Structure formats: C-alpha cells, structure tokens
Structure 1
Amino acid sequence: MNRERRFAALFDMDGVVLDTEGQYDLFWIEQGKRFHPGMPDFYKKIKGMTTEKILEDYFGGNMDLQQQISQELEEFEEKMNYPYVPGVENFIRVLLDHGVRIALVTSSNNVKMSYALKAHPEFTEYFERIITADKITKSKPAPECYLLAAKELQMETDVCCVFEDSFAGIEAGRNARMKVVGLATTNAKEKIEGMVDRVIADFTGCSYDGFVDLMDGGTMMF
C-alpha cells in the first residue's frame, strides 16, 4: 500500500456530513403538495440540486412564487438542526492526520452555509476548501462543483474521492471521473450500489487503510 501518494476527499454536506435530509424532506414534501400535487415524489426528484436549479426547473414561470419559496426555505434553514452523520468527524480527523486534502462540496448557497458554520465553526478546520452553489454555474449532476474543488486543492481527479448520498451528486462525482463512495442515508443501498465504488451506511468504523485501499482499487471493507 503506497502511503506516499496524496489523496483528496470531497464531501457533500447534507446527508453526508450533516444528517439533515429528513428535515429537508419535510420542507419539500410540503412544497410538492402545494404546487405539484400530481408529483408525489417531487421531494426525491430535487435531491442534490441547487435551490436555484429547483426554482428554475419547477417554478420557472412565476418569479413571485420563486421568491416566496426561497424566503420560506431560508427561514426554515435558519431554524434547522445540524447534527453530524455518525462517525464523520472522527473519519475526517483521521484523514487529516494522514495528509489527505479535504473539501466540502455542497449544493447549498452561502446563506445556508453561514447557518451551518454557526452550528459547526470547526468546519473551517476540517475543510481546506468549501464549494457552495454560489461558486458554480451548473448544478449537480454536472461535475463542475467537484472539478472546481479538485482545482482549488490543486489535485488531479484520479486521486480524488467523492462522498455523496443523492443520485445527482453520485452522478456528478462519476462525471468528474473520481472515485465515489455512496452514503445510504438518503437512498437505499440497493438503489445506489451499482452506481458507486463502495456503499456505507455512515462513517462508523471507516479507516484510513480502507480509504487508501479504495483509492488503489482494492476490495478491503471500507
């Protein structure tokens, strides 16, 4: 196992670092009932998208409605809880101790990030770079966000690993030609395992050795 190589770990935020997807489901289920009653899986369709992309794709004909939903979402996010996904803090610290470069790559905007940073000021120690929706022009599944993270870390894509939970995010990682670990926090293991290099329930027990083995194409349990 070659420990001389340097790797980068790129973490999505909601459903990967923070266990917030259940709260977002409640918000978007309500919006679906109000404005897209014929689309019962509306809240699933928009996972991984930026708010701007959601509003453009599903509320594009009504600017007043877009503004209303955006304001309601901002108020919702300000009051949200931001608990960690089990094991992620320890895993991040282990990676940092071994010189892994780490970035946070999220579809959330800077306003939402300010709320997350207020809850977790330690993010500035954990993540060398933070890529938000305000820094990109194309939402996931476009690879722009992950390619930007690699560029800012000055790392090649073949030494980057993406940690994602949504279909759009997983596809973005794949489109960036990076290794992808799928978190079965939002979608069942059976739904994502054919799309990713590994599936984990959370980060409990994840090790540096398992991470390096994954990056080197091995089969060690992560």
Structure 2
Amino acid sequence: MIVLFDFDGVIADTEGQYTVFWNEMGLKHLGIEEFGLKIKGQTFRQITGYFSENPSVLFDVIEPQLNKFEEDMSYDYVPGALEFIKELKAAGIRTAIVTSSHNIKMANAYRAHPELPELVDAILTSNDFSRSKPDPECFLKGMEVLGGKPEETVVFEDSFHGIAAGRASGAKVIGLATTNKSEALAPLCDMVIDDFTHFSLKDLM
C-alpha cells in the first residue's frame, strides 16, 4: 500500500483562508461572487484563464498579494493528520504529499512545520507536473515515485478536482469534508471522513 495526500484541506487546514482571499479577489477584479469555490483545487496556472482579458491584474496585482498572504497565513494541521502520518511512517507505509501548490508556497509551510518533509517519502508540487487536477498526472507521478500501482494506492483529497484526479488515476479515494460537505463528496469517493481524529491505519486495511 502507498498513500498520497493532497496538502491544503487534507494535511493543512488552509482552504478556508484561501476561499476568503480568492472570493475577495474574484469579486473585486472579475465581478464574480464565490470565486474561491469555483477555483478550489486549481493551480495558479489554471486560474490565469479567468484573467485572459487583463492578465496584468493577476500577475502585477494579485500574485504579489497572494505571495504575501501565503507567507503570513496559518498552516495548522487538520485535526489528527500529523498523528495519522506518523502512524503510517511507523508502519513502514510509503507516503507522499501531492499538491497543486508551488515550491515557494510549500517553503512557507515547511517553516511552520519543519518536521513535515521528514515524515513523508516524497513531496510533489505543481513544479513537478505539467497538467493539473482533475488530470490524474500528479497522482500517477506520485505512484511512480513511490513505486506503487493504482490498485494499491489510497488518495486523500478534499476538492472536487482532486477527487476526480484520484479517481481517474485508478486509486482508492477517501474524501475529507474539510472544504465541501460530506453529502456532496460521498457519491464521488470510496469513503468520506470529517478529519483524521478517529481515523487510523486499521481503517485502511
């Protein structure tokens, strides 16, 4: 078995913060309400499509604000996530973080949690793959790096794009209802959990 984790909304409780930021940016610069929900799980590269008529707004105005926002934001763990990852490591199960975030943002996360890179076997960011979720490339790359097959892989995701990518990769998908309601995730996943508080390795077996 190998286990692949998304980062935001799965390991780090950050999605609510991003939603507030992108809702504000979308309304101010595009006139789109609930923009944060529309783009959840997408990379910055994907978001550029919304600003095709005025890309300078994204790159000259929003991107510097986003970089500062990610420097200052909280990277608290999703409840039980740290303990669960430690349990997998102790059991010798290979794990990786597979995230749509870029290396600079993840460096901020490592400053908040210097222990994190040592707890998993690999960390793949948007710098490591060319196609973003819902394309399964990122998870297939994670399997390749860890030497696992789709049928022996478990993916933990919170976003609809991420869940679709996990499904398309052939892995078992467990959804976290940290970002979206469990009723919305349930038809798309093999299992849905609120967080890792009452979840352990035996629940994967």
Sequence identity, in percent? 46
Find 2:25's aligned residue among 13, 27, 31.
31
SS in 2 for 1:186: coil
Find 1:46's aligned residue among 15, 32, 39.
39
Q: What's the counterpart of residue 58 of structure 1?
A: 50
Render the CA deviation track for 1:25-55: whole Å, top value 9, x for unaligned: 1100101111222x32321110000111112
TM-superposed CA distance for 1:62, in Å, is 2.4
Equivalent positions of 1:130-209 (< 5 A) are 130-209=123-202
User: Hey, what's the Cα distance between the residues in 1 that align with 2:53 and 2:91?
Assistant: 50
Render the CA deviation track for 1:104-125: whole Å, top value 9, x for unaligned: 0111001101100111111111
- 2:89·2:120 contact (CA, 8 Å) conserved in 1? no
Structure 2 residue runs of 5 or longer lacking an equivalent are: none
Moved over 6 A (4+): none
Equivalent AA in structure 1 for residue 10 of structure 2: V
User: Hey, what's the Cα distance between the residues in 1 that align with 2:200 and 2:75?
Assistant: 24
Q: So what's the TM-score if we normalise by structure 1?
A: 0.89
User: Hey, what's the Cα distance between the residues in 1 that align with 2:23 and 2:143?
Assistant: 34
Equivalent AA in structure 2 for residue 8 of structure 1: I
User: Hey, what's the Cα distance between the residues in 2 that align with 1:204 and 1:10?
Assistant: 18
Equivalent AA in structure 2 for residue 141 of structure 1: P
CA root-mean-square deviation: 0.9
Q: What's the counterpart of residue 107 of structure 1?
A: 100
Q: What's the counterpart of residue 124 of structure 1?
A: 117
